Every structure is written in structure tokens, then in C-alpha cells.
């Protein structure tokens, strides 16, 4: 059976020693009094909930899955899921980072980020039920009317009601301009919504008494394409004026998708048959409001794969220390055993360190993004809000795609450590691989994220935001450039920082002549950018570790961090050279292939 121990020490290291988040909080009045001890205490209890309540349900939930009653359209979640959700509500976990105006605890988003990482490690399928609610909450909090906020946000904050995002339809995936769901205005100011949605995570379940669906639909005579899309709040049960449940609305589950993984979460086909909805935001401006949800979800999906990477690593490490097989090439290490533990073999260590480096680098990036998001919403300085929003816009597709690509790589490597036991269900590793593979697809495939990064976020403003991140890299290089002990981390980072400017300009010029050049380079480009970001955070983590060691700190944590940083820069970071070469190969070898693909 698999195991999971919340990585609280590493979370504390990133928050308090590398990012020093409480310094940022001092500049935001609502968080000025939040200190490290408070954060640590909350996360210690959060880790207990994840490891003791959710983790034991993971394999069983995957085996049992969800069940749809086609007569009532009700979905039963796996055994224990509903009880765990009740515990979650009673513990106040749903309200952790929500607005106190609506009953929230108002803690910084980085606390919620860490909590969700632990829950994703413990049980990603379960975590998606409350997880989708946060995106719906954010959209309503930003764009909802006072009446919508009064009706929905207190219940969503408490967790009594959950939320979804209903975008995709059977005939269109990412191209939402093709959607057909209709919204007919009514005399009372509401709308009657009719259409079909698919792939709706947590779209129907028995864990909460109501589900608030945020649905994209078209008004009569709306402009074609995405410019004619509006957003509506469509609850499963209509709410009465006093907040109690009213009549069942005309929105229900018509079927469940049979997926390769994440079986414990109900991925629903949603039928909307004249359901009553209310407009969120302005008519024909639904994509603007929906992007609040979509960007939150993209960061959330990156966090899902971060959680899977961590738990897969923990189990592979434990197995590698225990499993004896063969002898070390450099001489017997366990003389009292018939064979050495497989952790003595170089390639086993490569697989383990790959997962460790991707988990710890991903954790730093995810926390950094959560602090940026906090500044966007709460910093009193308009320039800080704008700069943080620009940076977050750049890092969101990287967080989604790079972390999920790495997560699939890492879980597969960890499965490989188990050898034949890796594809046997009771060890848990094959489930992590299946779940991680899905994360690369939904909330915008990783290729879509790559196109968004290169086409919109980088070339769209002539690299202005990329240069802002480059300034962070440049400042670190200037600070540590003459420190010989940092050379193995700073030198490759500085070189890539210089190379990526020329690399970006080159692709941009080629793209002006032929847009397919951008499409051909985008996936490779995102991974180069991802390594630039990871390289920056790994250099900062190495910097802190070296300073602690130099100060006489004998905690082995710092040496472990330093050794992992060395592995990352020696074995993973050099991938950038190959990626830049393949990106520069251009589109001809892809597009001039009609005979090959006939």
C-alpha cells in the first residue's frame, strides 16, 4: 500500500526562507498580521486532514468510481467521499482563503495553495469537488451582481454548495466560438438556458446540497465567435430569497465519462433544458468573466500534478530503499543482505532525483504564483497590482503545462523504479500515472498553453513581460555572479537568460513571415521558458542552502537541497539546448508532409 507524508518542511523553506512571504503580506493591510507561526500551524492541521482523511480513500475511490442513476440523474460518489466532505466542511477548510465578508477566514492564498497541493497528493479525484468551487467563487466574486454574491458566495464559502465551469460542448473543445448553447431573456430578468455540455468535472455528485454551474451560452442575435458569448449562473436547485433551496432547475447529468483515470471524480455530460439562469457580468462579455475561472483552474491543474509528483516520489524513494536486487557496480554496499537496495544504482537515483527536482521546483513556482495573485487582488499600490498581473499572466501557461508535463514524466519514472510492481494496482503507482496523464489535456491542452505563452503572452507584447522576468534573473546573476560556490547554478542560468532573448526574437521574425513557425516552435519554447523559471527558483533555493551551511547550520535538509539543485542543473536543465535546436528547425519538416500523412 502507498504512503504519504505532507512535505511541511519544504513548504516552510520555500515560504519563509526563499520567498519570505510574510514580508509581502506586510504590504497588504488584510494580511499584515499574518505570521509564519500561524501559517505553519494551519498547514500542520491541513496535512493531517489530507493524509489521514483523504489519502486512505484514494485507491478505493479509483476502483469504485462514480455511479449515475439514469432515472433520477443523481450521482453517487465513491464510499467515504461524502463523509470526508462533511469533515472538510466542519473543519472550516472550504473557507480558508475566502473573503470574510461572505464568511471566509481571509488567510493568504499561499496557505490554500499548500493545502490543495497536499490534498492533490492524497486524493486528486476527491479534491476536484471543492477545487472547482474556488474558480466559480472567484468569477462570481469579481463579476457577480450584489444579489448573486448574496445568494451564492456565503454557501460556496462554507462549502455547503459547490460550483462548476461549463464550457465545452460535444462538437467543440477549446474553440468556444463554435458553441451553440442558447440563453433566452425572460420578462423577470432571468434567462432560459438550453444546450449540452461535456467533460464537466464535479458536474454532479452527492457531497453538497446544491451545485452552482457557471455556464457559457449565446444570447439571441449575439455576434459570432467568442465575442458573442455570455456567462450565466445556473444552479442545480433554484434558491429562494432567504437562501434556502427551491425547485429543481432544468440542468442535470445525462451521462458520466469513462476516463482512464481520476475515476473518483464525476466528469459529467450536462443537459440544460430550459434551466433558469442569471447573467454574470456584461452581455457578450462572458469570456472575460470565464477567464477568471479558467486561469484559476490552470494554476489548479498544475498544482494537481505537483501533488502527484510529490506522492509518487515519496513512494518510489521508500521502495528503492527497501527493495534489494543486484549489487552496486562500485562494490557491495549491503554486506548483510543477499543483494543491495536498488537505490545504489545510478539510474534509479536519476529517476528519483528527477521527480524530487520537479516537485520542489514546481512547489516554488506554484507558491510564487499564489503570492502574485494575492498582490493582484489586495496590494494597495496600483503599479504592484499591474506588474503582478502581467507576471502571473506569463507564468500561468508555464505552471499549467510545464508542471503537468513534468508530473507525467516524474510519475512514470517513479513507476519504473518499482519494476513489475509498478503496474500492479495495490502499489498505487499506475493510478498516479493515469491521473497525471489526464492533467496534460484538460483546462486547455499543453499545446494550447504553449501557443498562449509564445503567441499571446510573449510575442503579443514584444517580449515586455518576459523581460520583466528576465530582470529577476538578471538581479540574481548580479548578486551572485562573483560567488564561486554559486557558479554551477548562476552560470547556466545567466547563459539561458541571454539566449532566450535572441531565441524569442528569431521565432518572432519567422512567425511574421509564416505563422506556422510559431505553432511549430511553441511546445519546445514553453519548456525552455519553464526551465528558465525553474532554474531561477533552483538557484535561489541553492543560494539559501549555501548561506545556511556557511553559517554552520548542520540540518541535513540544506545539503539535500543543494544536492538536488546540482542534479537539476547537471541533468535536467541542459534539455534547453536540444529544445532550442528543435524549435529552430522550423515548420517545414512538419507542414511539408502531405505524402507522409496521406
Tell me: pLDDT of 177 over 80: no
Mean pLDDT, residues 403-409: 98
Only one residue has cell 548578486, namely 479
Do residues 196 and 112 both lie within one domain? no
**Grid cell at residue 111:** 496557505
Mean pLDDT of the chain: 95
Q: Which of 284, 310, 334 is the last residue of a domain?
A: 284
Q: Give the pLDDT confidence score for residue 296 in this predicted structure.
A: 85
d(CA 215, CA 186): 17
Q: Give the pLDDT confidence score for residue 443 in this predicted structure.
A: 87
Domain annotation covers residue 579: yes
Percent residues over pLDDT 90 in the chain:
92
Do residues 23 and 137 both lie within one domain? yes
Which residue range forms the structural domain that includes residue 536?
462-590
Tell me: pLDDT of 458 over 90: yes
Angle between helices 464-480 and 487-513 (to 10 degrees): 160
Domain annotation covers residue 481: yes
Task: Compute how many other C-beta atoms are within 10 angstroms of the C-beta atom of residue 553.
Answer: 13
Give me the number of domains the chain comprises. Answer: 3
Do residues 541 and 568 both lie within one domain? yes
Q: Give the pLDDT confidence score for residue 225 in this predicted structure.
A: 86
Looking at residue 118, which CATH number applies to its domain?
1.10.540.10
Q: Give the pLDDT confidence score for residue 176 in this predicted structure.
A: 74
Do residues 121 and 22 both lie within one domain? yes
Q: Which of 284, 300, 319 is the last residue of a domain?
A: 284
Give the SS3 label for residue 345.
coil
Tell me: pLDDT of 175 over 80: no
Single out the residue of 140, 317, 115, 104 nearest to residue 215, CA to CA.
Answer: 140
Domain annotation covers residue 201: yes
Q: Give the pLDDT confidence score for residue 173 in this predicted structure.
A: 72
Q: Give the pLDDT confidence score for residue 8 in this predicted structure.
A: 98
d(CA 232, CA 228): 13
Looking at residue 244, which CATH number applies to its domain?
2.40.110.20
Beta-carbon contacts of residue 287 (< 8 Å; ≥ 6 apart): 176, 216, 226, 229
Q: Which of 265, 284, 303 is the last residue of a domain?
A: 284
Mean pLDDT, residues 9-24: 97
Give the model confidence (pLDDT) of 486-515 as tens digits: 999 999 999 999 999 999 999 999 999 999
Domain annotation covers residue 175: yes
Domain annotation covers residue 250: yes
Annotated catalytic residues are: 443
Do residues 276 and 208 both lie within one domain? yes
Q: CA torsion 130→369→384→479, rounded to 10°?
A: 160
Do residues 99 and 167 both lie within one domain? no
Amino acid at each position: 500500500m502507498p504512503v504519504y507524508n505532507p512535505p511541511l518542511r519544504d513548504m516552510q523553506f520555500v515560504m519563509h526562507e526563499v520567498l519570505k512571504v510574510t514580508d509581502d503580506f506586510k504590504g497588504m493591510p488584510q494580511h499584515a498580521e499574518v505570521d509564519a507561526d500561524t501559517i505553519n500551524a494551519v498547514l500542520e492541521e491541513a496535512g493531517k486532514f489530507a493524509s489521514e482523511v483523504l489519502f486512505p480513500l484514494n485507491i478505493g475511490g479509483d476502483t469504485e468510481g462514480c455511479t449515475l442513476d439514469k432515472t433520477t440523474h443523481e450521482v453517487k460518489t465513491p464510499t467515504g467521499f461524502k463523509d470526508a466532505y462533511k469533515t472538510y466542511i466542519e473543519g472550516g477548510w472550504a473557507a480558508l482563503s475566502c473573503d470574510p465578508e461572505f464568511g471566509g477566514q481571509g488567510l493568504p492564498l499561499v496557505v490554500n495553495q499548500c493545502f490543495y497541493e497536499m490534498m492533490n497528493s492524497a486524493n486528486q479525484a476527491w479534491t476536484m469537488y471543492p477545487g472547482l468551487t474556488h474558480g466559480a467563487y472567484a468569477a462570481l466574486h469579481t463579476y457577480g451582481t450584489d444579489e448573486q454574491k448574496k445568494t451564492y458566495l456565503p454557501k460556496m464559502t462554507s462549502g455547503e454548495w459547490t460550483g462548476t465551469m461549463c464550457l465545452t460542448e460535444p462538437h467543440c473543445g477549446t474553440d468556444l466560438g463554435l458553441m451553440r448553447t442558447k440563453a433566452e431573456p425572460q420578462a423577470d430578468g432571468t434567462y432560459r438556458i438550453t444546450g449540452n455540455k461535456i467533460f464537466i468535472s464535479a458536474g454532479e455528485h452527492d457531497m453538497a446540497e446544491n451545485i452552482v454551474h457557471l455556464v457559457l451560452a449565446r444570447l439571441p442575435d449575439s455576434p459570432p465567435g467568442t465575442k458573442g458569448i455570455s456567462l450565466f449562473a445556473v444552479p442545480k436547485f433554484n434558491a429562494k430569497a432567504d437562501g434556502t433551496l427551491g425547485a429543481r432547475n432544468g440542468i442535470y447529468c445525462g451521462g458520466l465519462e469513462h476516463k482512464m483515470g481520476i475515476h473518483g471524480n464525476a466528469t459529467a455530460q450536462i443537459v440544460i433544458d430550459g434551466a433558469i439562469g442569471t447573467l454574470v457580468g456584461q452581455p457578450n462579455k462572458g469570456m472575460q468573466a470565464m477567464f477568471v475561472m479558467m486561469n484559476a483552474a490552470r494554476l489548479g491543474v498544475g498544482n494537481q500534478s505537483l501533488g502527484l509528483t510529490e506522492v509518487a516520489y515519496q513512494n518510489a524513494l521508500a521502495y528503492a530503499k527497501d527493495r534489494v536486487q543486484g549489487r552496486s557496480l562500485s562494490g557491495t554496499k549491503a554486506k548483510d543482505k543477499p543483494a543491495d537496495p536498488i537505490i545504489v544504482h545510478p539510474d534509479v537515483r536519476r529517476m528519483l532525483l528527477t521527480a524530487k527536482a520537479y516537485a520542489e521546483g514546481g512547489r516554488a513556482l506554484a507558491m510564487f504564483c499564489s503570492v502574485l495573485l494575492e498582490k493582484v487582488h489586495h496590494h494597495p499600490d496600483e503599479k504592484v497590482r499591474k506588474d503582478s498581473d502581467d507576471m502571473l499572466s506569463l507564468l500561468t501557461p508555464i505552471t499549467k503545462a510545464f508542471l503537468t508535463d513534468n508530473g507525467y514524466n516524474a510519475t512514470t519514472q517513479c513507476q519504473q523504479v518499482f519494476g513489475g510492481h509498478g503496474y500492479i494496482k495495490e502499489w498505487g503507482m499506475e493510478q498516479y500515472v493515469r491521473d497525471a496523464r489526464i492533467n496534460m489535456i484538460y483546462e486547455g491542452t499543453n499545446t494550447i498553453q504553449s501557443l498562449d505563452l509564445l503567441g499571446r503572452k510573449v510575442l503579443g507584447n514584444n517580449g515586455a513581460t518576459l523581460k520583466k522576468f528576465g530582470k529577476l534573473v538578471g538581479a540574481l546573476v548580479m548578486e551572485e555572479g562573483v560567488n564561486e560556490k554559486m557558479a554551477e547554478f548562476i552560470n547556466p542560468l545567466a547563459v539561458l537568460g541571454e539566449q532566450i532573448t535572441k531565441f524569442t526574437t528569431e521565432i518572432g521574425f519567422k512567425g511574421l513571415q509564416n505563422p506556422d513557425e510559431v505553432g511549430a516552435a511553441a511546445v519546445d519554447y514553453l519548456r525552455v521558458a519553464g526551465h528558465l523559471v525553474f532554474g531561477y527558483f533552483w538557484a535561489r533555493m541553492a543560494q539559501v542552502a549555501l548561506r545556511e551551511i556557511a553559517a554552520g547550520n548542520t540540518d541535513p535538509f540544506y545539503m539535500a537541497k543543494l544536492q538536488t539543485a546540482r542534479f537539476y542543473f547537471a541533468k535536467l536543465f541542459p534539455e534547453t539546448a536540444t529544445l532550442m535546436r528543435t524549435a529552430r528547425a522550423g515548420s517545414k519538416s512538419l507542414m511539408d508532409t502531405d505524402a507522409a500523412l496521406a
